[in-house]
Amino acid sequence: MLDRTQAILRDMEAWPWFEHVGAPIRDPAVIAVSSSEEAVECHRSYVWECLRLQVRNVNYRAYNARDWHRAQGLNPVVMGVEQILEPLFRRIRALGERLSLPEGAFYYQVRWDLIAIAVETELADLSPPLFSVPVVLPWYRAGSFPCGWDGPILDTDWKGVFPPYRLFVY
């Protein structure tokens, strides 16, 4: 695992995890979510799920096209990330319970986001980070919960250029 990836994983420990959920957000690029119920509804949406999957597909195709061997070596990177972040994952699970956020709509999704941030960071030299680092990471780092997408469903042949959208943030 590259130094830059290890650095961001260490940095995650100090983020103010979910300390600002529900706080007013004055960013016109986002839609502020005001309750855990609304956050769960946004996070479980089909549109959000499709977006996150399409981003990973576009990323993987770019990595694979530029360096097949590194793209094929992602599983050990993911396993290393999971091992390093295990204490943080336990903390996030407990925070989700305190916020009354269901594990399936919160913990596993946050876990997936953090792994995606690590992968985009690890392979940034093959393809510039597309979504997890530039869009999702700043909200986690700010103590919020990025939880949805107010934009169209991306086609399966989406090429990585985002249409107009706003992010839902709790």
DSSP the chain: --HHHHHHHHHHTTS-TTTTTTS----TTEEE--SHHHHHHHHT-HHHHHHHHHHHHHHHHHHHHH-HHHHHTHHHHHHHHHHHHHHHHHHHHHHHHHTT--GGGTHHHHHHHHHHHHHHHHTTTTS---SIIIIIHHHHHTT--EEEEESPPPPTT--SPPPS-EEEE-
Q: How far, in Å, are 1, 14, 30, 62 from residue 142 at the CA level?
A: 25, 11, 14, 29
| pLDDT tens digits along 133-153 | 999 999 999 999 999 999 999
What integer pLDDT is reported at residue 97 of this predicted model? 85
pTM score: 0.92
Q: What percent of the chain has pLDDT over 90?
A: 79
The number of residues in the chain equals 170
| pLDDT tens digits along 101-133 | 787 778 888 999 999 999 999 999 999 999 999
| pLDDT tens digits along 82-107 | 999 999 999 999 998 888 778 777 88
Indicate the burial class of 74 (C-beta count within 10 angstroms; 0-12, 13-18, 19 or more).
middle
Beta strands 30-32 and 146-150, pairing class:
unpaired
Place of tokens 């977006």: 51
